[in-house]
Chain A
Amino acid sequence: KAGVTQTPRYLIKTRGQQVTLSCSPISGHRSVSWYQQTPGQGLQFLFEYFSETQRNKGNFPGRFSGRQFSNSRSEMNVSTLELGDSALYLCASSFKLPGELFFGEGSRLTVL
């Protein structure tokens, strides 16, 4: 069974731009969640989707948004990028709640 796939793996943007990250969960998993990982803040929860509905949202500004499609694939968008948005963005899928999370390799975003 294929794992969680995240694209792109690496990207460089400049301040003020926007970025869209994509995540394809493991087949059959309907829950997708997103996390931001930085050396200073560790792993921070962004949001969680289940069957196209946002179930939970972390403490991030409105510049961070996401959605889930009918095939469970998910995207997250960050608008008006700031230097502090540089991070590894991880997507995880889960078969059920509160089951274990299966993570993708992450998308490393660098904002210049």
Chain B
Amino acid sequence: AQSVAQPEDQVNVAEGNPLTVKCTYSVSGNPYLFWYVQYPNRGLQFLLKYITGDNLVKGSYGFEAEFNKSQTSFHLKKPSALVSDSALYFCAVRESGGSYIPTFGRGTSLIVHP
């Protein structure tokens, strides 16, 4: 069975500082990995994905993520945080060759302080 872990319920960072939101996964085969962001009372918005290829993936709003197969991680990063980045972030995994049912992490609340 596939699973996703987001070990931090909340991440606090000062505006202008780099941010990292952690995600680790477990699948039997090769993973398809995604990051989504959710603002209050809104649906989820796609940020970036890893399917194959370069381990460093660049996405929307200056976010990037690095796929690390040996550590089964897919951490979300941004060099300089903005107050407007404050939101709930979800990591998701789909297993290649499987049913493609996505499993989402429980979410990490990012708070960027002015």
Contacts and interface: CB of A to CB of B under 8 A. Distances in A.
A111 interface: no
Contacts of B43: 4, 6, 90, 92, 103-106
Contacts of A92: 43-44
Chain A, interface size category, equals 20 to 34
Interface string B35-79: 010000111111001010000000000000000000000000000
A101 B102 contact: yes
Nearest to A108: B41
Interface residues of B, number: 23
A100 B42 contact: no
Contacts of A56: 99-101
Interface of A: 4, 6, 33, 35, 42-43, 45, 48, 55-56, 58, 90, 92, 97-98, 100-106
